[in-house]
Amino acid sequence: MTSTPDFPPGQDPWNAGQDPSSGPTAPLVPASPAAPGPVVVQIGDLAVTSTVVHTPAGDIPLAGSTWQVNDYWHHEQKIPTWAIVAAIVGFCVLTVFSLLFLLVKQTVPRGTVQVTVTNGPRQYVSRIPVTHQDQVSFVHQQVNYVRSLAAL
């Protein structure tokens, strides 16, 4: 049988800060602020509600916020998969001519759209990878909608 040490009242480490005569009490939990509502728009890692912009670095109030969008594009040239397969398969038949397939290049547009939200001293930058102009237009439309919400 194990014995537990007896502590004088008020010095029990398991009930520190509690009045021993009052019995067990619930732990103190800080009151949470009122929920700002459902997410209206999701732009990359920014979740916008009717009152708040949730970012990984913390919340930014929506009212009075300013939004900026920049898109950065670059084009990559790569050998398409079909050309690599044709060069390998053709190497068995026509060695020299099959290597000409490796000269085929395909231009692939790549880029990021950078969305910056600022409200007073708080600022957050979200970078969204894009591969097509339609994706860029969609991000611009979302930001314009959020700008209209921020002006209300």
What's the whole-number mean pLDDT along residues 115-134?
90
Average model confidence (pLDDT) for the chain? 79
Q: Is residue 138 part of a domain?
A: yes
Catalogue the long-range contacts made by 104-108 (C-beta closer than 8 Å, 24 or more residues apart). Answer: 104/79, 104/80, 105/77, 105/78, 105/79, 106/77, 106/78, 106/79, 106/80, 107/75, 107/76, 107/77, 108/75, 108/76, 108/77, 108/78
**Which tens digit of pLDDT belongs to each residue from 100-114?**
888 889 888 889 999
> Does the residue 137 lie in any domain?
yes
Is the pTM higher than 0.85? The answer reads no
Domain that holds residue 49: 37-78+106-150
Within a domain: residue 44?
yes
pLDDT band at 76 (very low <50, low <70, confident <90, very high): confident
pLDDT in tens, 18-64: 454 544 444 444 434 445 678 888 888 889 988 888 888 888 888 88
